[in-house]
Amino acid sequence: MERHDAIVIGAGLNGLVAAACLARAGLSVLVLDRASAPGGIACEHEVAPGYRLPRFTLGSGGLPPRIVADLDLPRHGLRFIRAEGGVTCFPGGEYHASYRDGVVQRREIARFSRVDADAFTRYRRDMLRAARVLAPLLAGPARPRRKGLFAGLRARLAKADRISAMAPADLHGLLRLATLPASEFLDSYFESPHVKAHLAAAAMMGATLGPCSPTSAARLVLPWLETAGDAMGGAPETLMPVGGPAALVSALRSVILAAGGQLRMEAEVTDIRIKDRKVQGVVLANGEEIGADAVFSGLDVKRSFLSLFQWKDLPEGLVERVGRVCMRGVAAKLNIALDAAPDFPGLPEGCPSLGGGLRLAAEIPAMQRAYDDWRARIPPRNPLIDVFIPSFLDPSLAPQGGHVLSALVQYVPDVLHEGPWSAERRKALGDLVMTRLAEVSPGMEKHVVAFEVLLPDDIENEIGLTGGDFSYGATTLDQLFFNRPFPGTGGAETPLRNFYLCSPSAHPGPLVMGGAGANAAAALLAAKRKEART
Amino acid sequence: MTPDTAHPDETAQEQVDLDNEQAAVDPALFEKQPVEPPFARTVHTTPLHLLISAESRTNRWTEWNGYTVPDVLTDLGDEYRALRGAAVLADHSPLVKTRISGRDATDYLQRLVTRDLSSLAVHAAIPVIFCEGAGLVLGDGILFRLGDEEYRLVTEETHLAWMTESALGFRVRIEDVSATLAMLSLQGPLSAACLRDAGVKDIESLAPFAACWADIGGMPVYVSRTGASGDLGYELWADVEDAPHLWRRLMSKGMSHGLRPAGFALRELARLEAALPRAGRDYLSAFAAVMSGDAATPFELWSAPAISLNKPVFNGGRALRRLADKPPRRRLVALVAEALEPVALSTVLSGTRPVGTATTAGFSPALGANIALALVETSALDGSLSLTGRRREGLSTQELVLPARIMEEPAWKMARGSAFPAALGL
C-alpha cells in the first residue's frame, strides 16, 4: 500500500500552504483533491474564453509576509500588487475613497468633514494599537500552552498583570472595540455618515453581523492587521497577487513539487481509516487505500468530520459539537466578463483607489436593514456589493481591452423564507446587481460578455463548502480564537490523533490567509520533534 | 471668491428690478464648483508658492503639513547668516490656524490649554500647550487674542476633532481658517528696521508677544512680534490674496538691510538652535502615537512648561497635577556633540547603553558643533553621555561615537529678542 508521512485532503490555499510547509521540512506529502485543478475556492475560472477570474472568491488579498518568506514564494514566481484601499459609492452619487498617503487620505475625508479628517488620526492610532494586540494571537495557535501547574499559573498571572498594567483608557478602548456595534464605535470618532459607512462596509464583508449588531466593531480592525507605518499615514492598502489567486496557487504548487511533494487531482477521498482514535490513512472513491502518518483536512469542519468518518468511530460528543458549529452563507458571487473598460462617471478620472475595489453601499442604517432582511431570509432588496476588477491591476486576466469583474453580494440568505431559491428569484438578484452596477457605470450592461450568479447553495454543491460560507464558520467572537471551530480547540489539532484541520474552520480562520495551513503544519512538525526527543 | 463675484458686471446690476422678488441673481454664484479630487494634486501649494519658486536657485523642496515648500532657496549658510546678521523672510502659511470665537471663547480656551489665560490682553499672544486626559501632549502653539471674544490658535498640526469635542457645553465657534490666512515670518535683528521701511509706524514700540494691525502698502496686515528663531522677529498675517504683494513689498523695502528669502531648512535650524520642540518631529501628538512611548508629557518636553496647576479645571489637569509631583521619566534636552563636521546623529548612549533618541539634529553654525534635541532617560542625565553619529565619505560610512554634553542654555538666545523697545539697527 502506498504510504506517506502526511496526506492533505483538499488542494485549497490553506491545504497547499500546509503541504508546502511540510514538504519543505522534508516530509513526504501527498495532496488529494477531487477537482481537476488545484485551488479549492480560489481556483481560477474562465467565465468566457480568455476572461479569467477566481470563481468563488473576490480575488484580492495576499498571504502574510512571514508565510511568503518562509515558503520562499517569490522564488517561485509570486509577486504582489499593492493597490489603494478602494472606493465606496453611495446611492446619491457620492463617493468616498481610501488612500495610502496620509495627506491625501485626510484631504479626502475633509471633503465630507474637516473634523473627521483630524479624527482619522486617532482612529488610525486605535486601529493600529488593536492590530498589535491581535497580531500575536493570530500568528500561531490560540491555545494556552500547558507547561505544568506552576508554569501555567505563572503565565496566567503574567497575563493578568499585563491587563491590570494597562491604562484604564486603553483597556476601555479594547473592550469597546470587542463588544460594541461598529456603528456606535464609529460614532465616537466621526460625524459624517459617508465616512462611517465607508469604513463599516469594508469591515462587514463576509460577516454574519450587521453594522449595528453588537461585537461588529471588532471587524473594523481586520484591514489594519498587516499595516505598519508612520504616525500620519493613511488607509490600509489592498494586496493582490499578480495573476490573481491562481498565481498564488501555482506558486504554492511549484514549492510543493520542488520539495518532493505530490499532488493528485481527481482523487476524491471518501473515507478516513481510523483505529484506536488514531488516523491510519484514507480511502479514495475508486477504492484505492493510501496510508499516512498524519492526515490534514482542508475541508470545512462539518465536512471533515461528518462526511469523511464513520460517525461511530468518532469520540463521544464530537458529532454534536461539530453539528452545532454555525456555518451560514452570507454572500453570493457574481462573475462578469466585459468587452470594454467600465466607465465610472461619478468618480474622478483616473482615481487610483478604484484599483483596490469598489463597494456599492448605503449608509449604515440601510446596511443594517439589509442585514435584518438576511436574518428574516428575505431576498436582498438593497444589498452591499463588493466589486473587484482585477484586470485594472493586471490586464493579462482578460483579452485585449476586456475586463473581468468579480462581485460579492453581501447578505444573501442560503434559503429563503419561502423555500429554496427559485429561478425567478435568482434572475431577480442578478438583475438587481446589474442595475446597481449600471447606476455607477451606465452602459455596463451593454458590454457584458458573460454573467454568472453563484448563490450560497451553488457554492456548496460545486465545491462542497457547507452552507456556502466563505468564512468556514461564522466569525463571531464565540467561534474565534480558542473557540474555533469549537470550544477548547484553538489550533489545528483535533480530538483524533494525527488528524489535523488545516482549513479556515480552524484558528485563525479567514482573518489570516493561509494562517490555518501554516498552523497545522507547525503543529505536526512540533509533534514530530517532541516524538524524536522522547 | 470666484472671479465673477470679485468683479461684478456693472451692466448686469443696472438691470436688477428692485420690486421684483424673484431678483435676477448671478447663476454662477450657485454653480457647484468642481471639487478637485484629493489624489489629483499631491503637490499642494501655498498662496506664495509661485513667487517663492521664482527665488529658488537650488530646486530643493520639502513637504510641510501636506504643502510643498522650499527646503533651501539659495544656500543654507547664506540664509543662516542673513537670519543671524540681518533678516530673512519665509512663508509659514502651512501652519494650522484655528479661529475661536463666541461668548464662551475665553472660558473654553481656559479649559483647553494648560496655562492661565486671564492675563492675556487683546492683541497679545502667548505660547500654549494642550493635553488629553492622561496628561500627554496633543500639541503646542501660539494663541493670539484678537478681540474680547475672538482668538486664533496657531499650531503645527490640525486638532479640529479634539477642539470640537472639548467645546461641548461652550458657546463657541471653532473654524479652521488656515486656507484663508497667509503667514509671512520675518526674523532677524534687522526685521524691525525692514518693517519700519515697509511702512509700519512705531514698530519698535511693539512689545514681545504683542500684535497690532498695520497698513503696509494699503494692505491690512496683522503684525505680531513672535517667531521661533530665538531672536528678534515678527510674523505677518495677511489675506491670501494680499500675501504675494506683501511679500514683494517687504522684499523690495528690506533689500537695503540685507533681507533674504529663506526656506524650511532654516526654520528647522533656527528652531533647533533655540531648542524649541516641534510636534510630529520631537514628539507625536498623543492621538497619533501608535507606540505609547512616542507621546510625551509636558514635563518631559519643557523644563518649565506653561501649566497653571492652580487653575480649577482644564483638560488633562488632574493627570498633570499627579505628574507634577514626581520627576519625569525622560527629558527633552539640547545636546552638543564635539565634532567639527556635520554628522547625522541618532542614538544617545550612556556608556554603551542606549538611553534616548536624537529627534532633531543638525550642525549649528553659532556653536560650530553638532547639536541635537534628544529625549533622554532622566536617570542618565547626570552621567556622561555620548551620541552615535554617521558620516559618509565617498562610499564608506563611518560610525562614530561622539562625547556629548547637555547645553544649559539654547545655542542661540539673544537679549534683543525680548528687548523693548525693539532695536532698529544692529
Query: How far is the CA of A181 from the CAs of A276, A363, A370, B307, in angstroms?
Result: 46, 15, 16, 39
What pLDDT does B8 receive?
46
CATH label, B41-327, candidates 3.30.2290.10, 3.30.1360.120, 3.40.50.10860, 3.40.50.720? 3.30.1360.120
Query: How far is the CA of B371 from the CAs of A448, B228, B267, B367, in angstroms?
Result: 66, 17, 15, 9
Pairwise CB contact (< 8 Å): A348 & B158: no
A157 falls within a domain: yes
| Nearest-Cα residue of chain A relative to residue B177 | A114
Q: In the predicted model, what is the mean pLDDT of residues A59-72?
A: 90
Secondary structure (3-state) at B101: strand
Q: DSSP H helical segments within A399-464, as ranges?
A: 423-440, 456-463
Least confident interval from A145-154, A517-526, B129-138: A145-154
Burial category of B3 from C-beta neighbours within 10 Å (exposed 0-12, middle 13-18, buried 19 and up) = exposed
Instruction: Give the list of residues 6+ apart from residue B246 with CB closer than 8 angstroms, or none.
Output: B182, B184, B216, B217, B219, B221, B236, B238
Retrieve residue B402's grid coordinates: 561622539
Same domain? A213 vs A289: no
Pairwise CB contact (< 8 Å): A167 & B133: no
Structural domain ending residue among the three candidates A177, A197, A226: A226
Q: In the predicted model, what is the mean pLDDT of residues A329-333?
A: 93
Pairwise CB contact (< 8 Å): B161 & A104: no
Retrieve residue A474's grid coordinates: 461564522
CATH number at residue A303: 3.50.50.60
Which residues of B fall within a CB distance of 8 Å from A114? 158, 160, 176
Q: How confident is the model at residue B2 (pLDDT cuts 50, 70, 90)?
A: very low
Which residues of B fall within a CB distance of 8 Å from A195? none
What pLDDT does A147 receive?
60
Same domain? A198 vs A278: no
Element at A493 (helix H, strand E): none
CB atoms near residue B252 (< 10 Å): 13
Q: In the predicted model, what is the mean pLDDT of residues B98-127?
A: 96
Retrieve residue B352's grid coordinates: 554603551
Same domain? A212 vs A273: no
Same domain? A121 vs A28: no
Retrieve residue A110's grid coordinates: 475633509
* CA pair distance B362, A213, nearest whole angstrom: 53
Return the axis-axis angle of helices A102-110 and A114-139, rounded to nearest 10°. Answer: 130
* CA pair distance A101, A235, nearest whole angstrom: 7
Secondary structure (3-state) at B208: coil
Indicate if the pLDDT at residue B190 is higher than 60. yes
Q: How confident is the model at residue B1 (pLDDT cuts 50, 70, 90)?
A: very low
How does pLDDT run across B80-90, given as a tens digit for each residue?
999 999 999 99
Indicate if the pLDDT at residue B278 is higher than 70. yes
What pLDDT does B338 receive?
79
Secondary structure (3-state) at A331: strand
Indicate if the pLDDT at residue B308 is higher than 90. yes
How does pLDDT run across B332-352, given as a tens digit for each residue?
999 999 777 778 888 999 989
Fill in the DSSP letter of residue A266. S
Least confident interval from A8-22, A44-58, A162-176, A324-338: A162-176
* CA pair distance A397, A404, nearest whole angstrom: 7
Concatenate the DSSP letters of all residues of B34-59 into one string.
PPPPGGG-S-B--TTHHHHHTT-SS-
- Across the interface, of A104, A122, A128, the residue whose CB is closest to B42 is A104
* CA pair distance B199, B213, nearest whole angstrom: 12
What pLDDT does B12 receive?
47
What pLDDT does A60 receive?
85
* CA pair distance A404, A341, nearest whole angstrom: 9
Query: How far is the CA of B219 from the CAs of A232, B157, B193, B394, in angstroms?
Result: 37, 28, 19, 52
Indicate if the pLDDT at residue A501 is higher than 90. yes
A368 falls within a domain: no
Pairwise CB contact (< 8 Å): B66 & A348: no
Q: Where do the structural domains in chain B lie, given as residue ranges?
A: 41-327, 329-408
Q: How do the residues of chain B divide into helix, strand and coil, expressed in percent and rounded to 5?
A: 25, 35, 40
Q: In the predicted model, what is the mean pLDDT of residues B292-307?
A: 92
* CA pair distance A248, A242, nearest whole angstrom: 8
Same domain? A221 vs A278: no
What pLDDT does A61 receive?
84
Phi, psi of A227, rounded to the nearest 5 degrees: -95, 135
Which residues of B fall within a CB distance of 8 Å from A165? none
Instruction: Give the list of residues 6+ apart from residue B83 with CB closer than 8 angstroms, or none.
Output: B187, B188, B229, B231, B262, B266, B270
Structural domain ending residue among the three candidates A169, A196, A226: A226
How does pLDDT run across B256-271, given as a tens digit for each residue?
999 999 999 999 999 9
What pLDDT does A135 receive?
86
Q: How confident is the model at residue A20 (pLDDT cuts 50, 70, 90)?
A: very high
Pairwise CB contact (< 8 Å): B160 & A117: yes
CB atoms near residue B202 (< 10 Å): 10
Contact A49, A41 (CB under 8 A): no
Indicate if the pLDDT at residue A17 is higher than 70. yes
| Nearest-Cα residue of chain B relative to residue A121 | B288
What pLDDT does B24 receive?
63
What pLDDT does B16 receive?
58
Domain pair B41-327 / B329-408, same fold: no
Q: Which amino acid makes up residue A224?
A: W
Indicate if the pLDDT at residue B17 is higher than 90. no
Same domain? A201 vs A124: yes
* B284 contacts chain A (CB < 8 A): yes
Same domain? A284 vs A194: no
Q: Find residue B373's DSSP bridge partners.
A: B334, B360
Pairwise CB contact (< 8 Å): B284 & A121: no
Same domain? A200 vs A131: yes
Which residues of B fall within a CB distance of 8 Å from A237? none
Same domain? A163 vs A219: yes
* CA pair distance B184, B242, nearest whole angstrom: 11
Same domain? A194 vs A289: no
Which residues of A fall within a CB distance of 8 Å from B294? 231
* A427 contacts chain B (CB < 8 A): no
Retrieve residue B337's grid coordinates: 556633540
CB atoms near residue A265 (< 10 Å): 13
Secondary structure (3-state) at B297: coil
A300 falls within a domain: yes
The CA distance from B103 to the nearest CA of chain A, in Å, is 22
* A165 contacts chain B (CB < 8 A): no
Return the axis-axis angle of helices A515-533 and A13-24, rounded to nearest 10°. Answer: 30
Pairwise CB contact (< 8 Å): A231 & B162: no
How does pLDDT run across A96-110, given as a tens digit for each residue?
999 998 989 999 999
Indicate if the pLDDT at residue A190 is higher than 50. yes
Retrieve residue A302's grid coordinates: 462539518
Q: What is this model's ipTM?
A: 0.88
What pLDDT does A155 receive?
75
How does pLDDT run across B359-374, given as a tens digit for each residue?
999 999 999 999 999 9
Pairwise CB contact (< 8 Å): B37 & A348: yes
What pLDDT does B345 receive?
85
| Nearest-Cα residue of chain B relative to residue A99 | B39
Q: In the predicted model, what is the mean pLDDT of residues B139-163?
A: 96
How does pLDDT run across A219-277, given as a tens digit for each residue?
999 889 887 767 678 999 888 899 889 999 999 999 999 999 999 999 999 999 998 88
* CA pair distance A120, A101, nearest whole angstrom: 13
Pairwise CB contact (< 8 Å): B38 & A108: yes
Q: How confident is the model at residue A303 (pLDDT cuts 50, 70, 90)?
A: very high
Which residues of A fall within a CB distance of 8 Å from B164? 115
Which residues of B fall within a CB distance of 8 Å from A172? none
Q: How confident is the model at residue A401 (pLDDT cuts 50, 70, 90)?
A: very high
Q: In the predicted model, what is the mean pLDDT of residues A481-503?
A: 87
The CA distance from A293 to the nearest CA of chain B, in Å, is 46
| Average pLDDT value over all residues in chain A | 91
The CA distance from B78 to the nearest CA of chain A, in Å, is 32
Structural domain ending residue among the three candidates A226, A251, A283: A226
How does pLDDT run across A441-476, given as a tens digit for each residue?
999 999 999 999 999 999 999 999 999 999 999 988
Which residues of B fall within a CB distance of 8 Å from A125? 287-290
A405 falls within a domain: no
A418 falls within a domain: no
Per the structure, the complete domain to which residue A219 belongs is given by 116-226
* B308 contacts chain A (CB < 8 A): no
Q: How confident is the model at residue B137 (pLDDT cuts 50, 70, 90)?
A: very high
Contact B340, B364 (CB under 8 A): no
Same domain? A218 vs A304: no
Burial category of A315 from C-beta neighbours within 10 Å (exposed 0-12, middle 13-18, buried 19 and up) = exposed
The CA distance from B152 to the nearest CA of chain A, in Å, is 17
Instruction: Give CA A343 to chain center in angstroms.
Output: 29
Same domain? A169 vs A222: yes
How does pLDDT run across B369-410, given as a tens digit for each residue?
999 999 999 999 998 999 998 888 889 988 889 999 999 999
Retrieve residue B418's grid coordinates: 525680548
Retrieve residue A421's grid coordinates: 431559491
Which residues of A fall within a CB distance of 8 Å from B283? none
Query: How far is the CA of B287 from the CAs of A46, B134, B157, in angstroms?
Result: 48, 11, 11
Contact A410, A204 (CB under 8 A): yes
What pLDDT does A71 receive?
94
Say which CATH superfamily domain B329-408 falls into.
Aminomethyltransferase beta-barrel domains (2.40.30.110)
Retrieve residue B80's grid coordinates: 543662516
- Across the interface, of A118, A132, A350, the residue whose CB is closest to B159 is A118
* CA pair distance A82, A68, nearest whole angstrom: 15
Give residue for cell 451553488.
Answer: A458
**What is the share, in percent, of chain B residues with pLDDT greater than 70?**
94
Core vs surface per residue A437-452: b (16+ CB within 10 A) or e: beebbeebeebebebe
Q: How many residues does chain B have?
A: 426
The CA distance from B405 to the nearest CA of chain A, in Å, is 30
What pLDDT does B20 receive?
66
Fill in the DSSP letter of residue A304. H
A residues 104-133 lying closer than 8 A (beta carbon) to B? 104-108, 111, 114-119, 121-122, 125, 128-129, 132
The CA distance from A127 to the nearest CA of chain B, in Å, is 9
How many domains is chain A built from? 2
Q: Are β-strands A2-9 and A289-297 bridged in parallel, bridged antiparallel, or unpaired? A: parallel
Concatenate the DSSP letters of all residues of A208-237 into one string.
SS-TTSTTGGGGGGGGGTT----TT--PPP
Pairwise CB contact (< 8 Å): B39 & A115: no
The CA distance from B347 to the nearest CA of chain A, in Å, is 19
Q: What's the N-to-C CA distance of chain B in angstroms?
A: 43
Q: Find residue B372's DSSP bridge partners.
A: B335, B361
Which residues of A fall within a CB distance of 8 Å from B66? 103, 106-107
